[in-house]
Each structure stands twice: as C-alpha cells, then as structure tokens.
C-alpha cells in the first residue's frame, strides 16, 4: 500500500481543513492518516488512486467530496513547440511527453514531486518496467528537438547526481545505484533507450536522468517524459501527472508533438473514459433506493462529468482516474460520496443451517481425546527448517523455491519434527511433558496435497513404546476405527520399537520410540515416544462406516 | 470429668507403644535409638510432635566429655607401653639389658622406659632395666588407668585422669544430646489414644478401622501442590470459536488446497498478470512442480482469458495461471467454490493457512490463518454485505467502522475497522462485492459478497499478545499456565 509523507500543515493549508477534519475526510476517501512525532504526516493511499499520490491530488479529491468543486474540465493547454521523434526502441517502445508551466518548484516541493514520481513507478509503473517518468527543467533543455532512440553503450551522458565528467552509458549503468537496480529492465545487446535533446542525452529511461536538466528549487516549468512498454499506461501516467500538477496556482500545460514512423500525435492525451451507468444500477447494487439527484450529486462530487440521459447516466470520468473500468466502479464512487456509514445495512437473516466440515468435527473430538489422555495442545507453522527435517530423517518434502528465511524454507511432511522441536525447548518443564498438535502437513505431489494429522509425543524420565501405543490404541478404538499394526523402520524411531498403523490397506499412521541419536541431535536428553495419525483417513473411514 | 483423649498420628502411636513395651519413659534419644533400633531422626521428630501435644518434654543438652583418641584406642588393644615393659621384664626374670628392651619394644621402648621409671616401676642400673616393685601390683595399678580409658572409649568421660589427657590418650569433645522424658506415662497415653490418619484409604474402609481412627484436621488454608491440566491451545480455541460463529450464521464450511495454482489465487480474482503481488518476491512458490496442467479447467480458463483480455487489454497467458504457489489468500478457496457454480442462495466459509513473503518479526509471520466468507443470491446487495460484517463484529463483541477500500476482485470494496479492548482501531475485514469480471469468469449470474480477515492479528488482540510470534510459542509451561479466556 503506497504510504506518502508530507510535512505537517501542507495538506491542511491545501484543503483549509483542521487535522481532525482532514483525517475524517481522507478516511472516507480510502486513506489512513498517521501524524508522526517528527513533524510529518503519513497518508496511506489505496493503489487504485495514483492521482492522490501528491498534495494537489489529495486536495482535489477532498474538495470534490466536500462539494467545493464538481466534475472536471481540461486545464489550460498551449502548444509547447517541442517536437519529439520516437524511433521506438524495441525493449521500451513508447514515449509521451508534456510541459507543465508555472510549477514553481521549491525546496519542499522537490521532495513531494520525487515521492509522486516514485509511488507512480512502484504501482502503476510496475517498478518502472511498465512505465517510468522523467522530470526535467524545461529551461535547461539544450534543444526543442527531442529524440527517443537506442543509444550505444559508448555514448556519453552526465548522470543525475554525478556532476562533472561525461560518462559512457555503460559506466552509468554499472556504477550508479539506479543503474544497478533498473539497468537490466530495457537494455538490449547493442544499446540502451535514451532521450536526446538535440545531441545531448537527457535521460536513459527507465534508469536515470541527466544532470544537465536537473530540477531544483527555482525551476519554474517542467518538461516531463513518460516511457514504457504499454502505450495506454504510458499515456495514462502522463495524464495523471499533468492534470494533477496543473492544479498548482497559475500552472498550465504545454503539448508536445510526438512523431513515430511519420505518425504525429500530441501528448498529453488527457483522454477521458465514458461509461454508461444504468438508472437503477446503483440502487440495485447498493441495496439502497437512490434518486437521480443523489446519484448525479455523488458522481459530480467524485469529479465525474454526468449527463442524465434516457435510462441512466452518461458519465465521463476525469483523465486522472485509472480505476474506472466499468459502471461498477462508478457505483463505488457513489457509495463513497454518500459515505459508507450512511448506506446502512441489512441485518442477516439466518434461514438455513450452517455446517462444519466432517474433518473439523473429527478434529474437535480427537483434540478432546488427546487432552483427556493428558496431552497439551501445541501449534506450529507448516513452514519449517530443512535442518530439523534432516535431523529427524524426513527427507521427502516440499521445498519453497523463494524462501525469505532459511528457518522457514520447507513445508513439514509430518508433525513429528514440530513436536520434537517443541520438546527440545521444554527439557526443564514439569515431567511428563505430553504434547499434541492437530495441524496441516504438506506432502510431495502434483500439486503437493495437504493433510490434517494428529501428532502425539511424550517426554519423561522413562518412556517407552507402549506408552504412546496405549494412547494411539485408546483414540482409535474410541473412534471405532479398525486397524492393524506392523513393524516399521524410519530414522526417527528406534528399530524394533516402531510400527505402522494400517486401516483397510491404507496407511493410517506411525508410532514408536524416538531414536536416541535423533534426540541427542536435537539436544533432548530425556526419552521420547511419538505417534502420528492421518485424520483424513479416519474421517474417510467414518464417513463410510457411520450411517448418516 | 470427661476422660482425656490423646490424638496421635499412626507414627506417634507406634512409637509410644514401642517405648511403653520396652519400659522406656526417659532417656537420651541417641541412646534409646541405638538400644531399641529406632531410626534417630524419626524418633527425634516424633518426640517433638509429642512434645507439641504436651505428652513429652524434650531438652537439648550440650556437654563437654573426654573421648579416647586413636592412640588411646591402640593402647587399649595392645596395652600401654609401660605395661608391655613390665610384662617383658616379668617374663625375663625381672631384668634385661636396655638394648634388649629396645629390640623387643621397638620405637615404644623410649616411652615405656620413661613412664615406668617416672612411676617408680623400674630402676636402671649399669645398662640394665630392673623391676622395682611387684609386677602384679604394678599391673593392677595400670589396669585402673586402662579402665578409665575403656570408659572414655565407650561413652565418654565427664572427668578424665590427668595423665590420660597429658599423654594424648583421651581428648575433650563437645557433644550434643537430646534428653526426653514422658510427662504422661506411655501406658496411660496408649490407653487413651485416638489415632489420627492423614488420608482415608481403601484399606481403612475395608477393615472397618476407619471407625477407630480419627481423620486429622488440616490447615485448609495451606497451599496445595501446584498442578496444571492438559489443555487446548488458545489459538486453536479461538479458531474453533470463529468457525462456530460462522456456522451459527448459516455458513457451510469448505476447504481448499494450501498449495494451489495462480488461476484460483489470482486469475479468477481478476488480478492482472503483471500485478506486483504476483511477482516472485511477494508470493511463495514451491520447487516442484513449477506448474500443473490446466486441462481439467478448460472452460474456466477460456472465460478467465476472455475477461482478462477485455478488462486489462493484454494477451492473457495460461502459463502464468498454471504456476503453483503457496496460496496467499483463502479467497482462492472461495474462487474454487464459485467455479463449481453453486445454486443460490449460498453461504460458504473457509478458515485455513495462507503464506506471504514476509520476514518474521513481532507483527509478521510467513504463514497465518485467514477466514474467508462468501454469500450471495439474486438481489444480494452491498447493504447485505455490510450487515454480515456488522453481525460478525458484533458477535466478537467489537465495534465496527467502515472505510472504502481497494481489492482487485471486489467493487465496491470496504475495509472493516474494529475497536479493540485497548481502544485502538484495527484494520480487520477486507470485503466487497465480487466484480462482474470475477462472476463472469466463474460463470455465476447472481451477486456475491466476499469478506475475510487474518485470524492471528485478531487473536493476538483478544489475548493481549503483543508479539505475534508468541501465538506459536513452544514453551509448554507457558501454555499450561495461560489464564483462561472465556468468550
């Protein structure tokens, strides 16, 4: 979830609201506000509203919700006179550009602009892969003729933040932190996409800009480029930035002519999506009778332009909204405008019987029996450490491809390692220590299936096979399960003191005395006996043998 | 005047009887113990108990006495050196050359001659040792000395002959003894004794002896031994409570695989295939298998492709949908349920484990439980959804506040905040009506509301656990001692 930081007072002065009012209005606009101790305010904005990643965007939405402004209109737009020739580099073929005049960048505003840019990169820009933004000081452009094409790795630029010597692109990509992070996104064998102003490289999208067009306090007008792999996204990102920055006092836009294969386009597109909303659709979906006035009022406060037409509403969503895919998204806007707390509710009527899974019911009974036998319930994660499974001899298991931590990099194929791990941390607990878990295991398969099992373990001064066997027999007999037992060999158990439990030809579980080698490897210096039963098999058995 | 009763424990009774039989009414504990074969510590403690009952007086005594040293014991065994000399001389006709004496008595010869001469038993003339008196008389004199030594070796002597002290044959020692004395004669005690027993037993009941004994009065305020019952895990109990609430609200429990495919975890849920949540650093995957065939879902796959291509404007890739992952949300189970196109009205819920690429800390686990509910029928509305959220929150005793939210698969979307006992608001529910794109993909033609929440965060708040890792504690003593929470 994108979290934005503003100096305290910035949003209050943009909206004219008190802290309390601001918190409340923003909550209704999907945002959460957190006043920090360091004089900053954090605003968490939902990822579907990139138009609110900057103060002007937040103030615009707030103004609408409060009814201070309604609908939208295009900002003043002039021809910038800039021409951009796009050769369509194959790895990143699209570019759109615009000028925003009178942005008047200050010390504080630079931070906010960079934050706006970065949050757009991280969300809609898919971490710069799909779309990336370059901000430049218009007055510093060496030439009004711009070229977007592949540059060779020997071509030179002055990377932003590395003033001084001109650097070959190859070095800029290898030696700057941005280069290491984003250098591989659009690189080709024989060059990297670059934006030229005249003969100077002013950016190598999506990696880094050039020092020569640096935006700094005092920069009045911005030249903005957006490059990417998806034309619609590139244009939409430019729409969001330009329309939002145009909210600044005195700001207006300048068009840039983009020529690709002799096809001319002017950007920003400032394209609006028109959606038809049925007259009864909001009432039907929300469950609240709404009249036409309420609907148009709500939509216009969410800054849509609304035309009441036959049977419904022709709605023109503002160019900065990316989340309006269909009429359902307008219904949500109406609900937001009304206020979720004002929509009311239908109290649920329970007119039918709920039901739990047979396995849930069985697990409950089994837990009661285990507790009756003196076992205390424990719960562990299914993600566990490969070392634990190696030490206990559970080598057949499902491994996580991209674990975050080694201790959580395999899925346990048995509850016994979890129980032994628990016992190893309870050597000083009052004996006997009897523990059980009813929990999931995951075994190899295509895809690997999970099972619910019961694991039991006893640790005491002295403990033997018959101690665990007695518990297992007691549980199985009380559950009416027919079973037989045969000798079993596994690294975790002592040979000759372990058994497999079979029910109607299916493996139901295992039990035995834990091998002293395993105990000592885990640091356990008391004898332990353990068992595991597959509750899926028991549930299956009971579903077959019990009359409904 | 009523007859006086003497309440005695079984042990006390047995002791009094034994002493009465032996005719002992007083004495030193140490001596009585030795003489009558009663373990000293036990005798001592029983006498103290009898003293508390006013039947015996017990007194500690400290005394300084002389006891025989090892040198003294040797003298007792072999004879005093001068005694040996006198016997040697007697045997040799009353005199012997000094050299011969030294030869016979070895290193003791010097002491023997010294002592004998001092006491006037012998004279030494011209290199010969000569008896000066009648040897029988001398030996009688010596035996007096040995008698004292003997007594000192047996029980100690209050006074010892100066000579024995000076010669290091006895030494002074402080000894502590316990003197006891019945204040009521043992016989009389026995005649009026009532035996008290600590624990009523099967044997007492069967033999009828219980009628002749008295159950001892306890200090009922004394602390008993500390014990704890075997019990359910608190997180497990919390999960079962949630399931019960769902059942009471008419929901049917369903279950789906933990290791699932992206088709159900993401694609059906209209999550764009290039959505960041689907990238490798946000979703946990397994090494084997990387993908599974989608053959069994062919018509579903066809609809999902159509919906994605129309909605997101890209070429939908079935290879991505076939990727295997550890499910990141239990909504994957709801997606599977909807893909079976159940007859409305529907109310289903699932509660199971989900997995995230998170580093473990006090607020994150790589794996936690999620509850996911879906309900729907023709005419189902957003107000119905809000109704169920409020109902569930209400049954958990929590106040609910609604905030518009965003989830790729619902619209309108809502987040439910609940006020915790500590007054803080916790973002709990994620909810919304499934988007038309989701319903189209699964082929369901009635509105469906979905809602879910993470179980651990709520459980932690319920139990006042500040570190979420403590929900999975391995400390059995902690689990045994956890106070009970009733809900």
Confidence band, pLDDT 50/70/90 cuts, at residue B458: very high
Tens digit of each residue's pLDDT (9 = 90 or more) over B331-365: 999 999 999 999 999 999 999 999 999 999 999 99
* Among A353, A367, A379, beta carbon nearest to B235: A379
- At residue B472, the 3 state secondary structure works out as helix
Pairing relation of β-strands A94-101 and A40-44? unpaired
Q: How far is A217 from chain B (nearest CA, A)?
A: 34
* Percent above pLDDT 70 for chain B: 99
> Mean pLDDT for chain A?
95
Identify the pLDDT of residue A466: 97
Helix (H) or strand (E) holding A180: helix A177-182
Mean pLDDT in residue range B242-248 = 97
Q: Any idea how long chain B is? A: 487
Q: How confident is the model at residue B374 (pLDDT cuts 50, 70, 90)?
A: very high
- When scoring A23, A45, A290, A346 by the number of chain B Cβ atoms within 10 A, the one with the most, hence best to mutate, is A346
Which of A28, A126, A400 has its CB closest to that of B404?
A28
A residues 406-435 lying closer than 8 A (beta carbon) to B: 408, 411, 421-422, 425-426, 429-430, 433-435
Predicted confidence (pLDDT) at residue B250 exceeds the cutoff of 70? yes
How do residues B159-202 score in pLDDT, each as one tens digit? 888 888 888 888 888 888 899 999 999 999 988 888 888 888 99
pLDDT tens digits, A271-305: 999 999 999 999 999 999 999 999 999 999 999 99
Q: Do A285 and B253 touch (CB under 8 A)?
A: no
Chain A residues within 8 A of B233 when measuring between CB atoms: 376-379
Query: Poorest-confidence range of A383-397, B73-87, B257-271, B307-321?
Result: B73-87
Number of H helices, E strands in chain B: 20, 18
Task: Looking at the complex, report in whole angstroms how far the Cα of residue A156 sits from the nearest Cα belonging to chain B.
Answer: 33
pLDDT band at A489 (very low <50, low <70, confident <90, very high): very high
Which residues of chain B neighbour A341 with C-beta distances below 8 Å? Answer: 401-402
Looking from the CA of B278 toward its CB, the CA atoms found within 13 Å total 21
DSSP annotation of B251: P
b/e sequence A349-370, b meaning 16+ C-beta within 10 Å: eeeeebbbbebbebbbebbebb
Q: How far is CA B378 from CA A285, A289, A393, A514, B384, in A?
A: 11, 17, 54, 58, 12
> B63 pLDDT band (50/70/90 cuts)?
confident
In this chain, the answer to whether the domains covering B68-169 and B234-481 adopt an identical fold is: no
The pLDDT value recorded for residue A251 is: 97
State how far the Cα of A441 lies from the Cα of A456, in Å rounded to an integer: 14
Judge contact between B271 and B328, C-beta under 8 A.
no
A177 touches chain B (CB under 8 A): no
Place of tokens 């004199």: B141
Confidence of residue A548 (pLDDT cuts 50, 70, 90): very low
> Hey, are the CB atoms on B285 and A401 less than 8 Å from each other?
yes
Say what the pLDDT of residue B122 is.
Answer: 87
State whether residue A402 sits within 8 Å of chain B by CB: yes
> What is the CATH number that goes with domain B68-169?
1.10.10
Cβ distance of A335 and B412 shorter than 8 Å: yes
Three-class HEC string of A400-415: ECCCCCHHHCEECCCC
With 60 as the cut, is the pLDDT of residue A547 above it? no
Helices (H), A457-527: 465-478, 516-521
**Prior bond to B345 cis, omega within 30?**
yes
Q: Which of residues 439-458 of A touch B (CB under 8 A)?
A: 440, 442, 444, 446-450
Please give the structure tokens belonging to residue B444.
């369901």
Distance from CA of A171 to the nearest CA of B (A): 28
Which residue of A29, A343, A401 is in closest CB contact with B386? Answer: A343
pLDDT of residue A207: 96
CA dist list (Å): A17 to A20, A21, A112, A338, A393: 8, 6, 20, 20, 65
Grade residue A192 by pLDDT with cuts at 50, 70 and 90: very high
What pLDDT score was predicted for residue B1? 44
| Cβ atoms of A150 and A190 closer than 8 Å | yes
For chain B, the domains span 6-55+183-215, 68-169, 234-481
pLDDT score for B76: 86
In angstroms, the Cα distances linking A167 to A162, A171, A183, A461 are 9, 6, 15, 73
Q: What does each C-alpha distance from A489 to A393, A516, A530, B385 come to in angstroms?
A: 11, 15, 14, 54
pLDDT at residue B125 greater than cutoff 50: yes
A258 strand-pairing partners: A84, A265
pLDDT at A546 over 70: no
Q: Is A381:B365 a contact under the CB 8 Å cutoff?
A: yes
CATH number of B234-481: 3.30.930.10
Average pLDDT, integer, range B22-40: 90
**End-to-end Cα separation, chain A, in angstroms:** 49
Residue A511 near residue A532, CB atoms below 8 Å: yes
Contact assessment for residue B332 and residue B260, using Cβ atoms and an 8 Å cutoff: yes
The confidence score (pLDDT) of residue A345 equals: 96
According to DSSP, residue B287 is labeled: S
Sign, CA dihedral B304-B309-B310-B313, equals positive
- Closest alpha carbon within chain A to B233: A377
Of A126, A284, A355, the CB nearest to B247: A355
Give all domains of chain A, ordered by start, each with its CATH number: 3-65 (3.30.56.10), 77-267 (3.50.40.10), 273-343 (3.30.56.10), 358-545 (3.30.930.10)
Tell me what the mean pLDDT of segment B436-447 comes to: 96
pLDDT tens-digit profile of A399-433? 999 999 999 999 999 999 999 999 999 999 999 99
Confidence class of residue B84 from pLDDT cuts 50, 70 and 90? confident
Whether A526 contacts A514, CB under 8 Å: no
Q: Does A289 touch chain B (CB under 8 A)?
A: no
Are the beta carbons of A219 and A205 closer than 8 angstroms?
no
Whether the pLDDT of residue B291 is over 70: the answer is yes
Instruction: Using a CB–CB cutoff of 8 Å, tell me whether A278 touches chain B.
Output: no
State the count of interchain CB pairs (< 8 A) between A and B: 244
pLDDT in tens, A346-390: 999 999 999 999 999 999 999 999 999 999 999 999 999 999 999
Reply yes or no on whether the pLDDT at A396 is more than 90.
yes
Residues 55-114 of A with CB under 8 A from B: none
Residue among B435, B366, B385 at smallest CA distance from B406: B435
CA–CA separation, B328 vs A7, rounded Å? Answer: 35
Is any Cβ of chain B less than 8 angstroms from the Cβ of A526? no
Quick one: DSSP state of residue B444? -
Q: What is the pLDDT of residue B199?
A: 87
Orientation angle between helical segments A19-28 and A55-65, nearest 10 degrees: 80
Percent of chain A with pLDDT over 90: 94
Contact between residue B348 and residue B337 where contact means Cβ atoms under 8 Å apart = yes
Full 3-state SS string of A432-469 = CEEEEEEEEEECCCCCCCEEEEEEEEEECCCCCHHHHH
Q: Does A310 touch chain B (CB under 8 A)?
A: no
Cβ contact, residue pair B358, A442, below 8 Å: no
Nearest chain A CA: its distance from B480 CA (Å): 7
Are the Cβ atoms of A364 and B276 closer than 8 angstroms? no
Which residues of chain A from 471 to 500 reach within 8 Å of chain B, CB to CB? none
């Amino acid at each position: 979830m994108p979290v934005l930081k503003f100096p305290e007072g910035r949003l209050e002065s943009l909206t004219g609201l008190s802290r309390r009012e601001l918190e409340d209005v923003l909550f209704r606009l999907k945002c959460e506000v957190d006043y920090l101790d360091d004089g900053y305010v954090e605003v968490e904005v939902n990822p579907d509203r990139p138009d609110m990643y900057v103060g002007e965007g937040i103030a615009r939405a707030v103004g609408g919700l409060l009814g201070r402004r309604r609908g939208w209109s295009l900002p003043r737009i002039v021809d910038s006179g800039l021409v951009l020739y796009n050769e369509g580099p194959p790895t990143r073929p699209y570019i759109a550009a615009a000028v925003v005049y009178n942005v008047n960048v200050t010390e504080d505003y630079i931070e906010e602009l960079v934050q706006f840019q970065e949050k757009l990169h991280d969300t809609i820009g898919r971490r710069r892969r799909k779309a990336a933004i370059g901000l430049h000081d218009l007055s510093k452009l060496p030439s009004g003729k711009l070229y977007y094409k592949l540059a060779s790795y020997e071509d030179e630029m002055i990377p932003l933040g590395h003033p001084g010597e001109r650097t070959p692109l190859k070095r800029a990509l290898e030696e700057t932190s941005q280069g290491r992070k984003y250098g591989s996104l659009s690189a080709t064998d024989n060059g990297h996409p670059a934006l030229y102003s005249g003969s100077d490289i002013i950016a190598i999208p999506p990696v880094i800009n050039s020092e020569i067009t640096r935006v700094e306090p005092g920069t009045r007008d911005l030249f903005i480029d957006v490059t990417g792999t998806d034309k619609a996204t590139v244009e939409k990102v430019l729409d969001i930035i330009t329309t939002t920055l145009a909210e600044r006092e005195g700001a207006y836009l300048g068009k840039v002519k983009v020529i690709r294969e002799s096809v001319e386009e002017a950007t920003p597109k400032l394209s609006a999506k028109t959606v038809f909303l049925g007259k009864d659709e909001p009432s039907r979906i929300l469950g609240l009778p709404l009249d036409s006035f309420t609907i148009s009022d709500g939509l216009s406060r969410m800054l849509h332009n609304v035309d009441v037409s036959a049977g419904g509403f022709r709605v023109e969503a503002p160019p900065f909204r990316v989340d309006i895919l269909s009429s359902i998204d307008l219904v949500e806007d109406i609900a937001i405008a009304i206020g979720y707390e004002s929509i009311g509710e239908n109290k649920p009527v329970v007119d039918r019987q709920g039901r739990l899974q047979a396995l849930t019911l069985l697990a409950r009974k089994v837990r009661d029996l285990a507790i009756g036998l003196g076992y205390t319930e424990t719960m562990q994660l299914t993600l566990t450490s490969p070392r634990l499974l190696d030490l206990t001899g559970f080598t057949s298991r499902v491994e996580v491809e991209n674990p975050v931590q080694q201790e959580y990099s395999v899925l346990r194929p048995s509850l016994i390692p979890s129980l032994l791990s628990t016992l190893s941390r309870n050597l000083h607990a009052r004996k006997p220590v009897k523990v059980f878990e009813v929990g999931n295991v995951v075994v190899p398969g295509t895809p690997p299936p999970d099972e619910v099992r019961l694991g039991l373990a006893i640790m005491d001064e002295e403990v033997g096979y018959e101690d665990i066997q007695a518990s297992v027999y007691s549980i199985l007999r009380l559950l009416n399960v027919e079973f037989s037992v045969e000798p079993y060999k596994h690294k975790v158990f002592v040979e000759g003191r372990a058994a497999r439990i079979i029910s109607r030809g299916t493996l139901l579980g295992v039990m035995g005395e834990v091998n002293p080698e395993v105990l000592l490897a885990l640091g356990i210096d008391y004898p332990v006996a353990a068992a595991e039963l597959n509750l899926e098999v028991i549930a299956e058995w009971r579903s077959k043998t019990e009359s409904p | 005047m009523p007859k006086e009763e003497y309440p005695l424990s079984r042990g006390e009774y047995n002791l009094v009887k034994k002493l009465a039989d032996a005719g002992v009414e007083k004495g030193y504990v140490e001596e009585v113990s030795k003489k009558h074969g009663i373990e000293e510590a036990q005798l001592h403690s029983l006498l103290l108990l009898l003293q508390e009952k006013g039947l015996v007086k017990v007194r500690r005594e400290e005394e300084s006495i002389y006891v025989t040293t090892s040198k003294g014991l040797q003298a007792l065994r072999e004879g005093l050196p001068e005694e040996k000399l006198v016997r040697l001389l007697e045997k040799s006709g009353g005199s012997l050359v000094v050299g011969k004496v030294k030869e016979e008595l070895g290193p003791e010869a010097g002491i023997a001659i010294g002592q004998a001469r001092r006491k006037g038993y012998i004279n030494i003339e011209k290199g010969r040792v000569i008896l000066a008196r009648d040897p029988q008389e001398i030996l009688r004199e010596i035996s007096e000395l040995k008698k004292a030594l003997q007594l000192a070796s047996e029980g100690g002597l209050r006074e010892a002959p100066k000579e024995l002290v000076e010669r290091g044959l006895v030494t002074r020692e402080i000894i502590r003894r316990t003197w006891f004395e019945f204040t009521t004669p043992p016989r009389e005690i026995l005649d009026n004794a009532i035996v008290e027993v600590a624990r009523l037993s099967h044997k007492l009941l069967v033999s009828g002896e219980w009628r002749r004994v008295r159950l001892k009065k306890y200090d009922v305020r004394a602390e008993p031994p500390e014990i704890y019952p075997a019990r359910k895990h608190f997180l497990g109990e919390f999960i079962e409570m949630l399931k019960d609430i769902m059942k009471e609200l008419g929901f049917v429990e369903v279950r789906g695989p933990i290791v699932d495919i992206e088709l159900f975890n993401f694609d059906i849920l209209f999550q764009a295939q290039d959505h960041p949540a689907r990238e490798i650093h946000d979703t946990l995957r397994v090494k084997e298998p990387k993908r599974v065939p989608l053959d069994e879902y062919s018509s579903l796959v066809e609809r999902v492709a159509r919906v994605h291509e129309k909605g997101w404007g890209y070429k939908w890739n079935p290879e991505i949908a076939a990727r295997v992952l550890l499910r990141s949300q239990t909504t994957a189970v709801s997606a599977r349920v909807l893909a079976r196109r159940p007859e409305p009205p529907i109310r289903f819920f699932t509660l199971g484990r989900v997995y995230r690429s998170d580093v473990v800390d006090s607020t994150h686990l790589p794996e936690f439980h999620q509850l996911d509910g879906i309900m729907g029928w023709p005419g189902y509305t957003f107000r119905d959804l809000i109704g169920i959220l409020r109902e569930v929150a209400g049954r958990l005793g929590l106040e609910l506040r609604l905030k518009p939210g965003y989830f790729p698969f619902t619209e309108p979307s809502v987040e439910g905040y609940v006020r915790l006992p500590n007054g803080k608001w916790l973002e709990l529910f994620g909810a919304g009506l499934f988007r038309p794109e989701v319903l189209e993909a699964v082929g369901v033609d009635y509105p469906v509301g979905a809602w879910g929440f993470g179980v651990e965060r709520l459980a932690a708040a319920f139990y006042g656990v500040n570190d979420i890792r403590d929900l999975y504690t391995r400390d059995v003593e902690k689990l045994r001692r956890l106070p009970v929470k009733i809900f």
